Amino acid sequence: MEKDEIIKDEILVQAQLLFQQYGLKKTTMDEIAAACGKAKSTLYHYFKSKEEVFDEVIQMEMFNLRRHVKNKVEEHEGMIAKLNTYILEFHKEAINKVNIYRVLKQESSSKEVARKHFLKMMEFEQAYIVCILEDGFDSGEFKETAKEDIPWLAEMLLASFYGLVQYGIEKDGFYNEEKMIRIVNLVTPKIFC
């Protein structure tokens, strides 16, 4: 890793902590610089504004979430096991990142940023679910629909699933892993078999 990447990552990690604690509006570039032990001019060398830092923090969160979920999904064989793992791990990790979600939601100036990130995330996640379903279709595990309907089915699955994630976040991070596992194990095979 290059020196510039190390410094930029350090800035993002410290900024993430401050955004979680104080929100976007109350966090200043001076505070981020102090938390990193860097001069404010160093921050401006890497980022044009506090909002750009915030945008990169959100991107970093999403990348880490996706990497974690993908690694867990790839530990399994078969479409149902992969879908179950995807739903459970994504939900659990999203709840773990609830503070960043709240910062996005509470910052009125961030509504467009939140929307942009949400739509970008949905596109990426839909493509990932489509791959899982198409692999299941190609292997003969999933025969209940025409292959051309898989993108639409993935989109509907995600819309339902994200409603559940948002509900958990709104309920102050409520997540009962045991209940979630039972529900996912009950529902997923009924939908996709």
Question: Does residue 2 sit in helix, strand or coil?
Answer: coil
d(CA 135, CA 15): 39
What pLDDT does residue 144 have? 80
* Segment among 6-10, 21-25, 63-67, 82-86 with least mean pLDDT: 21-25
Q: List pLDDT tens digits, range 122-165.
A: 888 899 999 999 999 999 998 888 999 999 999 988 888 777 77
Give whichever of 11-25, 153-167, 173-187 has the largest mean pLDDT: 11-25
d(CA 193, CA 68): 26
More confident residue, 95 or 123: 123
Mean pLDDT, residues 16-38 taken together = 90
What pLDDT does residue 120 have? 79
Cβ–Cβ under 8 Å, residues 129 and 154: yes
Mean pLDDT of the chain: 85
Mean pLDDT, residues 100-117 taken together = 61
Mean pLDDT, residues 87-109 taken together = 69
pLDDT at 102 over 70: no
83 band by pLDDT with thresholds 50, 70 and 90: very high
d(CA 100, CA 61): 8
What pLDDT does residue 42 have? 93
Mean pLDDT, residues 49-66 taken together = 87
What pLDDT does residue 66 have? 87
d(CA 156, CA 31): 42
